[in-house]
Structure 1
């Protein structure tokens, strides 16, 4: 049974009405009174279910959408200003992420503050649910620190007055808290949950590895990732092409996902990210030439290598299979059975320039775009993967490389990702230097995890954003007559100021509500 099948019950719980003699004492109809809740194990389970909707959903595409691998397709979207480096503390994307994360934290704090009143002798059950809540709260803090740096660390339920007096906690202290929380939570969580979608021991440890990597605490990152690897609970799913399909939901590689169900608790990934020609889809964030060109040939050689066999007139032939598994390119089959052709001269609905809603780069995301959602693009039931085993392997490898603890296990971790059954890139050449391996693992993260909501954090912690997030934005190269032409986004230049843009500004609304919140440098 999946947790997504339980969520509808939580969302539709009714209320007991008051006695007729107390007609003037009305009961809110949008919540359950604590006087009648927090009594039974069922109450605890329902409350725990209510924590999961705060996990990231389609916003992961917006987070990747403001990096070098993507482009905000309509220039009037607020995220476009982030690309151009002209956003400020009023931009709604940082505000949305801040609000969503702290909502999840508040729910977890309320849960942890109340679960002790549940009447049960099943201490393992309570410990498990507390472990889930602590892990989900840590998930939010990892995001917040990666986005904003120092943020208020709130670990209990607080009132309005307390909220208006919160100060920012140094990020090092938050990393200490997160790593400790995840370590302790893992001890109370099972390796496998009966209900798919619930947090497991592996999820807590994998998040610990991610947090430690982001914090630059490489030994802790390597150790946590190694614990996940040695648990033998997860494995690389053999088909990258099918990894993001309905048929592959809850597969051996998924460590944490957000579960959805069509018609009841759905998402709009198809409408948000699919090709414009597919009815309700509108390509909100589109892949760039920088990403597409990064995929090597199937023989492992870069397309810039004159011996690679790359043909600029047939640019998608014999490439890393993850390219066509991740991105719609000219000639691919669309969900409606037609061929994708975004060339400006194609005359199709997807042609660059056909409409401002069609892709501006000539590329469209293919991950999560399933034919099952063609008729109802705004009502999708596909689960969105937030953490998978491939990331753990790459985290382990990167941490070991940064520690200069290079051994066979580092090569093995990277090669497991490169040599997935339907990818089969050549194994890395042995004897590489630390710098060469660093480049290799970063490249694998870029390609393997594209559009999974991690790229923004990667280019920030690697301090490469001022190199990759500047200048013009380019799209596909295509043959027009006898000439090769490359799409360039008109009148659009990316700007990244390393003095300020490595952190988002603390949202202005939050600072108006709480004058104690200081602003990040440069904002």
Structure 2
């Protein structure tokens, strides 16, 4: 952890600098003191804005695509330049430093959240109710983002949660105080998730924002945590720890509220993804602007504007394209048949991932910059959580089918009525179709205890076919489903224990 901690002070300074010019008036001018940086409710607002700026930088991009390249649904093109190649090929090709970025990014953000949590407690209660709400919301947000980051760390760097062994399974280092000298060991998985749930409980109790009403405009989307967004986070977390009743209750509460209706036509669903002019399925998104840029999922297209062809790093397998029925609205939204130019050869009508083509209103030039406002929580995911949690025992099989079929019908499919193992498979298949390329597939396989075989390529002429590429087979017990603790952190903090196989 020492390497990460050495960068914390600089990160905190950056966080302060981007939130308000007011911080330039503080002394000393090259640091932020808890005594001078946290004085009024306005300071709380500035720090709160900074927390969201940091969250924006930890969504999409490599925080999403790194795990997507690792699984069964993509083939590396011959021109992919080894971007994401280590994760894609597994085995000895994949080393801990190849997956170090999220570890360092999340821990630096946690350090700042801890700094803000401690600082906000120094601010006296403001005079007006509105000012008090600003301070209270900032306190809620700091714990919400800390819970989010710790869940993301556990998903990547700890084994899948098992309630029977969680009290002894290695989790990740648990830091809830800002301490630049700390060299923590790894907490057990239960302790980390207990802290995550405690932070969510605190955040829910102190969040003063209003949820969107069921009758509000589809463009009325919160760009900050609301009670509903916190409930979505809770549903995701409880699914991860196999709290099936808790996950179902949280998810079903959001569904039953009627505030986030599913789109039921291809046109509206396409606007939701491609132009962002339709937003009713969003529970919480971080808004992007041309001035406030975000990470992009640009590896799937590689558009060459002048030539009007594409040079993608990764190409969807024929298997994943074929997993969508012809009537499934998502097929022609998540994918598009486009011309590609690989190794000097043009190929027409190749299916490419088109879920993130770039929003035209966010372009800063003639051609796409692939920018989208990151969807942190959306109702489509919540339906998949309700279905899985109910099917696993959090409610009845009938309720699992209700959630499953509601999502299927909204996406242009017919209702089904599987039972037993067939219902389990149907729930998993529908989650995969809904959540493809959003960064969940690897973690779902890990949570389900499943391995995979990489799908059949569309054409072997334009993808890599060597070791670790097409036909890759990964067993369910492969150590590298759980990513390695970065090498530098292990060397600088001897209290850390590496994950097996790294």
More helix by share: 2
Match of 1:385 in 2: 375
DSSP-derived class of the 2:187 partner? coil
Q: Confirm or deny: 8 A CA contact 1:229 1:393 kept in the other structure.
A: yes
Tell me whether 1:94 sits opposite 2:99 in the alignment: yes
Gap change, CA 1:173 and 1:200, over 3 Å in 2: same
* Equivalent in 444, 448, 454 of residue 458 of structure 1: 444
Q: Confirm or deny: 8 A CA contact 2:282 2:379 kept in the other structure.
A: yes
Residue deviations 1:237-284 (CA, integer Å, cap 9, x gap): 3422222233436x121122232211x221363754434333697534
Q: Confirm or deny: 8 A CA contact 2:76 2:463 kept in the other structure.
A: no
Q: Confirm or deny: 8 A CA contact 2:244 2:394 kept in the other structure.
A: no
Gap change, CA 1:125 and 1:269, over 3 Å in 2: closer
> Could you tell me how far 1:389 is from its partner in structure 2?
0.6
Match of 2:205 in 1: 187
Q: Structure 2: how far apart are the matches of 1:377 and 1:105?
A: 36
* Equivalent in 46, 50, 59 of residue 56 of structure 1: 59
Match of 1:136 in 2: 145
Q: Structure 1: how far apart are the matches of 2:186 and 2:300?
A: 35
Tell me whether 1:396 sits opposite 2:386 in the alignment: yes
Q: Confirm or deny: 8 A CA contact 1:397 1:411 kept in the other structure.
A: yes
Unaligned runs of 5+ in 1: 1-6, 19-24, 299-319, 330-339, 342-349, 478-484
Tell me whether 1:406 sits opposite 2:392 in the alignment: no
Q: Confirm or deny: 8 A CA contact 2:172 2:189 kept in the other structure.
A: yes
> Could you tell me how far 1:500 is from its partner in structure 2?
1.1
Gap change, CA 1:171 and 1:87, over 3 Å in 2: farther
Q: Structure 1: how far apart are the matches of 2:461 and 2:20?
A: 52
> Could you tell me how far 1:101 is from its partner in structure 2?
1.0
> Could you tell me how far 1:375 is from its partner in structure 2?
3.2
Residues 123-272 of structure 1 aligned to structure 2 (within 5 Å): 123-149=132-158, 150-160=171-181, 162=182, 164=183, 166-189=184-207, 190-192=209-211, 196-238=222-264, 239-248=268-277, 251-262=279-290, 264-267=291-294, 269=296, 271-272=298-299
DSSP-derived class of the 1:205 partner? helix
> Could you tell me how far 1:388 is from its partner in structure 2?
0.5
Residue deviations 1:10-64 (CA, integer Å, cap 9, x gap): 356365469xxxxxx9732xx6554542122221111011112234232212221
Unaligned runs of 5+ in 2: 1-14, 159-170, 213-219
* Equivalent in 414, 425, 430 of residue 444 of structure 1: 430
Alignment TM-score, normalising by the size of structure 2: 0.80
Match of 1:310 in 2: none
Match of 1:370 in 2: 358
Q: Confirm or deny: 8 A CA contact 1:178 1:208 kept in the other structure.
A: no
* Equivalent in 65, 68, 71 of residue 67 of structure 1: 71
Task: Point out the more displaced range, 502-511 or 189-198.
Answer: 189-198
DSSP-derived class of the 1:151 partner? strand
Q: Confirm or deny: 8 A CA contact 1:254 1:389 kept in the other structure.
A: yes
> Could you tell me how far 1:361 is from its partner in structure 2?
11
